[in-house]
């Protein structure tokens, strides 16, 4: 996998040089082999790197790392790709997710959507996070050799929308700014209940909506959602020192997914 990353970067030297972009590759030692088609993985990594580099300012650096991680169905190898995104969309995680999940969350088909479908076809996961404005991190997680192909084939992607139905009253009582901060606090609370950043959590503070997107087998989708709703239902929330009566509404849907192929 490390050799593939180096070959991919070398094949893109002209693009890197055109913007004076450098890259740094780091990897843990003694990693397991990946159970996936190397050509498909290289194609996805190339597309992600091309996207990252084109949106970076001249003279900056792409960070690439390889690590072994836990997946729900076994061990996996995570490829992390990050760089500064100076475009307007680089400020908004929702924009990235609309591209990544396509029509599943209101966007249209894109290169990111195609990349996600390709990774899913190999039993893997593709996610994006925005830990800081204009600094997106793309993570490709692939199963290692020995991971159950049956468990992989059963994986589906689900979207769990959590709406604060009394957000208008909270905005009226505490003001817009404090209410938006409060929604972000609940977003962070939900993030701690899932496998972030493999599972994605985002919010639209102005609407009082928090969305969790996660991969799991179809039979356990409700159990993940139930765990989140039960914790939210028993938690005591505050804005400042005042206890807040928060009313939630939940909606679980399945997102489009690819037909799985065979890894090599």
Domain boundaries, the chain: 2-153, 155-254
Residue range 2-153 in CATH 3.20.20.105: no
Predicted pLDDT of residue 261: 41
The answer on pLDDT for 103 being more than 80 is no
The answer on pLDDT for 258 being more than 70 is no
Mean pLDDT of the residues in the chain: 85
Instruction: Say how far apart CA 99 and CA 67 lie, in whole Å.
Output: 25
Of the two residues 100 and 249, the one the predictor is more confident about is 249
Q: Which helix (H) or strand (E) holds 202?
A: strand 200-204
Torsion, Cα of 182, 188, 191, 192 (10° steps)? -120
Q: Which two tokens stand for residue 123?
A: 């039993």
> For the stretch 2-36, what's the b/e string if a residue is b when 16 or more beta carbons lie within 10 angstroms of its beta carbon?
bebbeebbeebeeebeeeebebeeebeeebbebbb
The CATH code belonging to domain 155-254 is 3.30.70.270
Q: What angle do CA 103, 106, 107 make, to 5 degrees?
A: 65
Lowest pLDDT segment from 49-63, 87-101, 147-161, 205-219: 147-161
Q: Which two tokens stand for residue 259?
A: 């037909």
Predicted pLDDT of residue 176: 94
Predicted pLDDT of residue 181: 94
Q: Which helix (H) or strand (E) holds 97?
A: helix 93-101
When pLDDT is cut at 50, 70 and 90, the band that residue 202 belongs to is confident
Predicted pLDDT of residue 150: 46
* CA-wise closest residue to 55 among 95, 26, 25, 6: 95
Predicted pLDDT of residue 262: 39
Instruction: Say how far apart CA 250 and CA 225 lie, in whole Å.
Output: 9
Predicted pLDDT of residue 154: 61
């Amino acid at each position: 996998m490390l050799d593939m990353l180096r070959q991919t970067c070398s094949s893109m030297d002209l693009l890197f040089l055109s913007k004076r972009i450098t890259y740094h590759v780091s990897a843990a030692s003694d990693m397991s082999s990946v159970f996936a088609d190397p050509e498909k993985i290289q194609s996805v990594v190339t597309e992600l790197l091309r996207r990252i580099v084109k949106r970076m300012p001249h003279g900056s650096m792409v960070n690439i790392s390889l690590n072994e991680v836990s997946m729900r169905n076994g061990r996996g190898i995570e490829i992390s790709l990050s760089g500064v995104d100076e475009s307007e969309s680089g400020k908004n995680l929702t924009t990235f997710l609309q591209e990544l999940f396509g029509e599943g969350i209101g966007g249209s088909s894109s290169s990111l959507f195609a990349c996600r479908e390709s990774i899913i076809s190999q039993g893997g996961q593709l996610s994006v996070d925005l830990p800081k404005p204009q600094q997106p991190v793309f993570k490709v997680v692939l199963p290692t050799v020995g991971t159950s192909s049956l468990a992989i084939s059963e994986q589906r992607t689900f979207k769990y929308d959590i709406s604060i139905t009394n957000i208008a009253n909270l905005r009226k009582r505490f003001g817009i700014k404090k209410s938006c901060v409060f929604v972000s606090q609940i977003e962070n609370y939900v993030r701690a209940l899932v496998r972030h950043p493999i599972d994605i959590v985002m919010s639209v503070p102005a609407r009082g909506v928090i969305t969790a997107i996660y991969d799991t087998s179809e039979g356990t989708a409700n159990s993940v959602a139930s765990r989140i709703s039960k914790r939210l239902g028993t938690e005591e929330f505050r804005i400042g020192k005042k206890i807040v009566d928060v009313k939630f509404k939940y909606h679980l849907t399945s997102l489009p997914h690819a037909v799985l192929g065979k890894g090599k």
